[in-house]
Structure 1
C-alpha cells in the first residue's frame, strides 16, 4: 500500500514537472513574440515638446514607417535612424494622415522641415532635404509648428550614435 502511494506521488510529481515545463516553453515563446512585435521607442525632445518616438532603424522598419495606420497621437512620432548621413528621401506610400517631416543632422540639429505633408497616390512624391541628414522625425501634421521646430533647433534623444 505504501509503495503504491509512493508511486502515485512520483507520477503526480512527474506530471506537474511536465506541465510546468510546457508552460515555461509557451511563456518563453510568447515573450519572444512580444519582444519582436513591440517596437523600440525613445523619448525625443523637439524644443520643449516631449514625444514618444518609435524607432525605425533597419531597412524593413524604415520602408514601412507609419504606413497603414489611421493616425498617431500628438505626442507620438517615428524616428528614422539611418546608417549614414545622406539626403534621405521620404514618401507617403500607404499613408492615411498628414505629417510634418523633420530632417536632423548627426549633431542632432534640424536641417530641414517639410510641413503638412499629405498622403498621396501613385506616383508618390519624394521629399528630401537640401542638405544631408542622419535622422528623420515624422510627427503629426502641425506639431513641428506648435513646437517651434525650425532649421538649427536642437533635437534631444539618447540613441547610441553608432546606429
Structure 2
C-alpha cells in the first residue's frame, strides 16, 4: 500500500513537471527569469539614430497574442517588439487595447516597410475588427504619434541590442 502511494506520487510529480516544461516551451507561461527587454534603434539612410525605444520582446505565441492589451499605456521611447520566425504578411488587431499606437512593420533585412497609425477601440467596439496589415518579420508597437515625432519612415534601418 505504501509502495503504491509512492509510485502514484512520483507519477503525479513527473506529470506536473512535464506539463510545466511544455507550458514554457509553447509560450503559455513566460519564463520569469528571462530578460525580455532590449534597446531598439531606428536609423536613417546615413545610419544616424532617429529613435531609441526600450522594447519588451514578444517572441512566443502567447506573448504575441496578448501584446500590449495588458498595458494601460506606453511612454515615448517605450514599446513592444513582436518577433516572428520568418518574414510574411502580418495582420495586427486592437484586441482589448486601451490606447492608440503606431504599428511599424520591419522586414527580414531589418528595414521598415510600413507604418500604421492605429486607434484603440471605442466603448462597445470590437477591437478584432480594427486590423492593420503589413509585411514583416518584426513588428514594433510604440505610442501613437511617436513614429511621426521621431521622423520614422519606410526604408529606415532597425537594430536591436544584444542582451
Describe how 1:76-87 pairs up with structure 2 within 5 A: 76-87=78-89
Greater share of strand? 2
Q: Which residue of 2 aligns with 1:118?
A: 119
> 1:93–1:37: structure 2 CA closer, same or farther, 3 Å change rule?
farther
> Cα RMSD (Å) of the superposition?
2.2
Alignment partners' CA distance in 2, 1:156 and 1:36:
25
Alignment partners' CA distance in 2, 1:38 and 1:159:
13
User: In the alignment, is the contact (CA less than 8 A) between 1:100 and 1:113 conserved in 2?
Assistant: yes
4+ runs deviating over 4 angstroms = none
> 1:148–1:89: structure 2 CA closer, same or farther, 3 Å change rule?
same
TM-score computed with the length of structure 1 as normaliser: 0.70
Q: Which runs of 5+ in 2 are unaligned?
A: 1-29, 44-48
SS at match of 2:70: coil
What count of residue pairs does the alignment treat as equivalent?
125
The question of 1:72 aligning with 2:74 is answered: yes
> 1:39–1:126: structure 2 CA closer, same or farther, 3 Å change rule?
farther
Q: CA deviation at 1:84?
A: 1.6
Alignment partners' CA distance in 2, 1:145 and 1:78:
17
Q: CA deviation at 1:37?
A: 7.0
Out of 150, 153, 156, which is 2:156 matched to?
A: 153
TM-score computed with the length of structure 2 as normaliser: 0.70
Q: Which residue of 1 aligns with 2:18?
A: none
> 1:83–1:106: structure 2 CA closer, same or farther, 3 Å change rule?
same
Pair member with larger Rg: 1
SS at match of 1:107: coil
Q: CA deviation at 1:80?
A: 0.2
Describe how 1:41-80 pairs up with structure 2 within 5 A: 41-47=37-43, 48=49, 49-80=51-82
